[in-house]
């Protein structure tokens, strides 16, 4: 591996987005990499925790509602973020828990409230619509429209109707809570937590007329991994700050250490010279570096850039 010569801030700014910075990072020893990753990951987790605290404030300090709303945002994906936020405020966690004795009632609320029942017209859905009409009158619910959801270009396993049917099963089994999230120690715990299955009807209905097969009735390993990193770990951290618990604070980071590293365009860029991400704790650091510093060209504030500029200045001064 070729050593990089004199390093200046201007040089780093000109090389932003190229292979220069991955070359520099690859020259760090394990101690400095760990220090860098710890700083970046904790920074990223604190930002996510702040977002959850903001949701908590908007939800009247209800951890149950904040947990449910945060889960909805990530379960339904970035493309449907706005619609998922509207759904969380339309069909609240409190309403769902009042009707969670039956899966039927929870499905009616979530899919009816989302306006997605209008996409289907068979006998099963007609009965579900009647149930929703009854519940909408009971709770004064004004549902979303089906057009508010992005359905085209979405992988069939991420179809909003399927994800909501899976969530309905989880809520019916009463597993969506901050106390259950706090118990997650590793990916097996997360996988078990989200192992509840959507009704057979929704698996069949969503594949009807589609050439795609292999749809899962469960939330699935990949989505569970995403939820562990972006929902469970940040929620544990935010809650630890709320109750001032050092134990929970450590648990949120320990969960990231137990999860496999993410593999995406950001992590591949940084590991083009040398593999460094051994777990999600590490890959979150690389994503933070790319999205919060490189993408904004904030080389002056970048911890990696500052380390090398400082080290090079010290070397020249000798």
Range of the domain at 164: 61-259
Burial class, 221, CB count within 10 angstroms (exposed 0-12 / middle 13-18 / buried 19+): middle
Look at residue 316 in the predicted model and tell me its pLDDT: 41
Do 156 and 230 fall into the same domain?
yes
Look at residue 312 in the predicted model and tell me its pLDDT: 54
Do 192 and 250 fall into the same domain?
yes
Do 250 and 270 fall into the same domain?
no
Contact between 4 and 23 under an 8 Å Cβ cutoff? The reply is yes
Q: Which three-class secondary structure state does DSSP give residue 63?
A: helix
Cβ–Cβ contacts within 10 Å for residue 90, how many?
A: 18
Do 119 and 163 fall into the same domain?
yes
User: What sections of the chain are H helices per DSSP?
Assistant: 9-14, 20-26, 30-58, 63-75, 81-90, 93-98, 103-113, 123-139, 160-172, 178-182, 187-193, 200-207, 221-227, 233-243, 246-258, 265-270, 280-288, 303-317
- Can you tell me the distance from the alpha carbon of 56 to that of 50, in angstroms, rounded to the nearest whole number? 10
The 8-class DSSP code of residue 197 comes to B
Do 168 and 245 fall into the same domain?
yes
Look at residue 110 in the predicted model and tell me its pLDDT: 99
HSE, side-chain direction, 13 A CA sphere, residue 180: 18
Do 178 and 271 fall into the same domain?
no
- Can you tell me the distance from the alpha carbon of 284 to that of 281, in angstroms, rounded to the nearest whole number? 5
pTM for this model (two decimals): 0.90
Do 150 and 274 fall into the same domain?
no
220, 242, 259 - which closes a domain: 259
Look at residue 206 in the predicted model and tell me its pLDDT: 86
Look at residue 5 in the predicted model and tell me its pLDDT: 43
Question: How many domains is the chain built from?
Answer: 2
Do 166 and 193 fall into the same domain?
yes
- Full pLDDT tens readout for the chain, 318 residues: 444 445 677 777 776 666 788 988 998 999 999 999 999 999 999 999 999 999 999 888 899 999 999 999 999 999 999 999 999 999 999 999 999 999 999 999 999 999 999 999 899 999 999 999 999 999 999 999 999 999 988 889 999 999 999 999 999 999 999 999 999 999 999 999 999 999 999 988 888 766 666 688 999 999 999 999 999 999 999 999 999 999 999 999 999 999 999 999 999 999 988 889 999 999 999 999 999 999 998 888 999 988 887 765 444 444
- Can you tell me the distance from the alpha carbon of 229 to that of 286, in angstroms, rounded to the nearest whole number? 14
Do 41 and 91 fall into the same domain?
no
In sequence order, which residues have a C-beta less than 8 Å from that of residue 310 and are 6 or more positions away?
A: none
Look at residue 311 in the predicted model and tell me its pLDDT: 65
Of 157, 155, 152, 145, nearest to 117 by C-alpha is: 145
Do 253 and 136 fall into the same domain?
yes
Do 141 and 224 fall into the same domain?
yes
259, 280, 297 - which closes a domain: 259
Do 192 and 309 fall into the same domain?
no
Contact between 107 and 165 under an 8 Å Cβ cutoff? The reply is yes
């Amino acid at each position: 591996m070729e050593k990089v010569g004199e390093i200046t801030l201007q040089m780093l700014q000109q090389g932003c987005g190229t292979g220069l910075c991955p070359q520099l990072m690859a020259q760090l020893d394990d101690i400095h990499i760990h220090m860098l990753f710890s700083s970046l990951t904790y920074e990223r987790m604190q930002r996510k925790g702040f977002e959850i605290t903001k949701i908590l404030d908007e939800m009247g300090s209800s951890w149950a509602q904040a947990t449910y709303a945060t889960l909805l945002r990530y379960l339904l994906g970035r493309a449907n973020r706005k619609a998922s936020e509207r759904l969380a405020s339309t069909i609240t966690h409190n309403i769902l828990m009042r009707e969670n004795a039956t899966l039927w009632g929870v499905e009616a609320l979530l899919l009816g409230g989302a306006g997605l029942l209008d996409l289907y017209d068979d006998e099963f859905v007609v009965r579900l619509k009647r149930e929703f009409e009854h519940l909408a009158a009971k709770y004064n619910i004004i549902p979303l429209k089906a057009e508010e959801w992005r359905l085209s270009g979405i992988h069939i396993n991420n179809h909003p109707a399927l994800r909501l049917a899976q969530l309905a099963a989880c809520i019916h089994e009463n597993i969506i809570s901050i106390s259950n999230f706090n118990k997650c120690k590793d990916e097996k715990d997360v996988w078990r937590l989200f192992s509840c299955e959507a009704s057979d009807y929704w698996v069949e209905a969503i594949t009807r007329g589609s050439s795609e097969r292999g749809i899962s009735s469960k939330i699935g390993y990949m989505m569970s991994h995403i939820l562990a990193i972006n929902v469970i770990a940040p929620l544990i951290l935010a809650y630890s700050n709320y109750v001032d618990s050092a134990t929970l604070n450590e648990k949120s980071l320990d969960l990231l250490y137990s999860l496999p590293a993410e593999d995406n365009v950001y992590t591949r860029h940084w590991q083009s010279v040398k593999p460094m991400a051994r777990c999600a704790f590490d890959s979150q650091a690389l994503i933070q570096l790319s999205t919060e510093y490189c993408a904004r060209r904030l080389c002056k504030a970048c911890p990696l850039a500052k380390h090398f500029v400082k080290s090079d200045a010290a070397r020249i001064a000798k």
